[in-house]
Copies of this chain bind each other. A is one copy, B any other.
Amino acid sequence: MEIKTRFTDSLGPSAIRAITTMINAKTAAGIAVTSFAGGMPAKEFFPLKELREITENIFDNEDGQVIQYAPSTGYEPLKRTLADFMKRFQVNTTSENIQIYEGSTQALSYITRAMLTDGGAVVVEDPSYTGALDIFRSYRAEIIDVPMDDDGLNMEMLENALKSHDVKFIYTIPDFQNPSGRVTSVEKRKKMVELSEKYNVLILEDAPYSLLSFSGNVFPAIKSFDKDNHVVYIGSVSKIIAPGMRIGWTVGSKLFTQQMVYIKMIDDLQVNNLSQRQVFHYLSEYDVDEHLETVRKVYGHRRDLMVEAVRESFPEGTKVVVPEGGMFLWLELPEKYDTEKLFEPVFNENIAFVPGSKFYAAPGRSLNCMRLNFATSNEAAISEKVRRMGEIIASLK
């Protein structure tokens, strides 16, 4: 008799990773899939040449220490560089307030583990990032979804949630939110900090897309208004450099940071040495702004092409939220459409997207919505395959 684990008895694969697995299966079988599904940045703009050069220099200048065990606290030069990097978001901090992780998803896992060991509730934006929802579910959190206005969470409903539940933290993506593309206003950022103090609750500010602003306008982080250690900022280089680096970081109090170090000591000892050095050298010695300028221009153009293709080919009455940054287009089809049912016929023609319902804590929500990633695919694929989606949808009426 085979022994089953308990944790995963009731657990399936995370929604987006499951779609990715289906895509990989087709790719392995030699079938090309155009994916508007995952959160993949455009790999053709990754600074591969620079990273090659950096890596050669590391091997030239360091001895075996570079692949020896290293401190759980992370690579100090990288932490100093990230502390400086935080000025972009008007956050003043030092390396003692920073911890490094194998990507920002791991940061979110550690924080959830730390805060929800004995249960409790979390507030999420409605809709929110599926990966975060999966983490919260895996720790059996009570998930309270608070509706968003165009400028961020509805503050009255947020306060009601904080009044009526034992909320451990508020999870928010203030810049070019995933999946809605919305930006939380500066006024609401300040108000959220006020509420976090009033109800003594933590805010997790997940900010992977902040620098993907098409106007170049970067907002002050919620963390920049934090006076009493009620905000933890979560950063990632996945959309700034590349996801394969697996480097994320948090900015929090010294106590919080120490607690995250303890979890790292227990959980997997340390972050990859070489990756930490690669990111350190790239951020401190190369022109990351020039790189971001290129990425912004390309993504902005791809957004335009995608919006155009949707408007031309999707069913009449489809609403498009046109985001000013990030990677995602959020579409609301007319009520009669169920995008979960559209997935299969579209995927049969080797095109992938994420049904809107995947971004909600409760089942059956926004069945007529979908998220399209405009960053990954090239211009020709966007123009052609989005129109093809429109035709498939029309043919199913």
Partner-B contacts on A (CB < 8 A): 1-8, 11-14, 17, 20-21, 24, 38-41, 43-46, 48, 51-52, 55-56, 59, 63-73, 101-103, 105-106, 109, 111, 113-118, 131, 134-135, 138, 200-202, 228-230, 238, 241-246, 253, 255-256, 259, 261-263, 265-275
Contact = CB atoms under 8 A, between A and B. Distances in A.
B40 A68 contact: yes
A67 B13 contact: no
Contacts of A71: 20-21, 24
Contact of A48 (B63, B116, B117): B63
Contact of A4 (B70, B138, B242, B255): B255
A113 B229 contact: no
A2 B226 CA distance: 11
B269 A105 contact: yes
What 8 A-B pairs have minimum CB-CB distances, sorted nearest first? A43-B64, A67-B244, A5-B114, A67-B242, A106-B268, A52-B59, A46-B64, A8-B259
Q: Which of A8, A118, A273 is the most central at the interface, judged by chain B CB atoms within 10 Å of its CB?
A: A8
A105 B267 contact: yes
Given A2-B253, A255-B4, A70 B117 contact: no
Contact of A68 (B12, B43, B117): B43
Contact of A244 (B55, B70, B242): B70
Contacts of A11: 259, 262, 266
A74 to B, nearest CB: 12
A24 B70 CA distance: 10
22 contacts: A2-B228, A2-B229, A3-B201, A3-B230, A5-B259, A6-B115, A6-B117, A13-B261, A21-B72, A41-B68, A43-B64, A48-B66, A51-B67, A64-B242, A101-B268, A102-B102, A103-B268, A109-B267, A135-B266, A135-B267, A244-B274, A272-B272
Nearest to A2: B229
Q: How many copies does the complex hold?
A: 2
A322 B24 CA distance: 50
A196 to B, nearest CB: 9
A56 B49 CA distance: 11
A11 B265 CA distance: 11
B102 A268 contact: yes
B246 A270 contact: yes
A126 to B, nearest CB: 21
Contacts of A244: 66-70, 272-274
Given A38-B69, A51-B59, A56-B56, A6 B242 contact: no
Contacts of A272: 102, 244-246, 272, 275
Contact of A6 (B13, B114, B135): B114
A73 B25 CA distance: 12
B44 A64 contact: yes
